[in-house]
């Protein structure tokens, strides 16, 4: 199939692009490289460096004539969305609308939108949280994702566009950016490998549903032809930041030569982040029943694979 992946130089997008290419699909990647890395895009994929909210995306879609578009290009930092909600909306709302217009103008394609399984729900009354739970975003980032989903629904109703939504939990794995504010596992891994103490916000009892990046790519692949809908993508298991740090420290310790190595630095606690969700865990039974999907990588195994990736990087990367 002919496929376009927006954000295909990024963390999740590059894994999805690799999977598509391995299975013989023809892939074009759109990414402005504001956070993605050009070296993460296979030479087998055509690459367009541009902002998805620009008019140029219309020309790319018209040229590529994709059968399926995976939309992952986004501003992903919740705290940045609070500091600069206009920029967040420009990328995450207007970029989505621009892409939808481009797809309609090119004659249509199935569009799969990667939303958020935490930010769109906010703190919920039901954990694990099903797709039927009311959407109560507590950040501009979450609000933009909800708006993106609403625009997909509107374009499906107005133009007959085939649309689907994935709502992943906290995605982690190789290639995640260890810098900035997003991606606690990558950030903590980089700190531990550098001999520094990871900083836990607040008491560390806040929980998340951590899902390995290759499992998310697998869920996306099933929407090439699978039934349309809105699907949570997670493990259904809530893990606190304290538990995560303990498991991650074990994974890092296993990579070090010799058991006589000095102990890893203990985590330290910083102030709690205002407005941070307390609990997030996803009910993924719909993806299991409709797509035949479930997470295949356990947290201990995923952490080992993530640590191994970062441990082999050039020192300057971290």
Contact 78, 36 (CB under 8 A): no
Which residues does 15 contact at the CB level (< 8 Å), separation at least 6?
173, 175, 213, 214, 216, 217
User: Distance from first CA to last CA of the chain, Å, rounded?
Assistant: 37
Tell me the catalytic residues.
141
């Amino acid at each position: 199939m002919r496929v376009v992946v927006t954000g295909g130089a990024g963390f999740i997008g590059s894994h999805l692009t690799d999977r598509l290419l391995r299975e013989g699909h023809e892939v074009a990647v759109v990414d402005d490289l504001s956070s993605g890395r050009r070296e993460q895009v296979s030479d087998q994929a055509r690459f367009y460096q541009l902002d998805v909210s620009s008019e140029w995306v219309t020309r790319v879609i018209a040229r590529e004539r994709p059968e399926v578009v995976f939309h992952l290009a986004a501003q992903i930092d919740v705290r940045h969305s609070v500091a600069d909600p206009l920029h967040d909306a420009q990328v995450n709302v207007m970029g989505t609308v621009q892409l939808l217009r481009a797809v309609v103008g090119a004659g249509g394609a199935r569009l799969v939108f990667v939303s958020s399984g935490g930010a769109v729900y906010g703190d919920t009354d039901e954990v694990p949280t099903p797709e039927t739970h009311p959407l109560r975003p507590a950040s501009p980032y979450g609000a933009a994702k909800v708006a993106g989903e609403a625009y997909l629904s509107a374009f499906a109703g107005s133009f007959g566009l085939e649309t689907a939504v994935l709502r992943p939990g906290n995605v982690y794995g190789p290639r995640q950016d260890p810098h900035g504010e997003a991606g606690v596992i990558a950030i903590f891994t980089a700190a531990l490998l550098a001999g520094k103490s990871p900083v836990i916000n607040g008491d560390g009892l806040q929980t998340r549903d951590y899902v390995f990046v290759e499992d998310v790519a697998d869920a996306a692949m099933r929407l090439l032809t699978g039934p349309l809908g809105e699907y949570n993508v997670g493990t259904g298991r809530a893990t606190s930041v304290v538990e995560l740090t303990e498991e991650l420290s074990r994974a890092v310790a296993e990579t070090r030569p010799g058991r006589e190595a000095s102990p890893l630095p203990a985590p330290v606690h910083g102030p709690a982040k205002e407005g941070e969700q307390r609990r997030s865990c996803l009910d993924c039974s719909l993806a299991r029943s409709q797509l035949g999907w479930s997470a295949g990588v356990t947290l201990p195994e995923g952490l080992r694979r993530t640590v191994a990736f970062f441990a082999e990087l050039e020192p300057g990367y971290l």
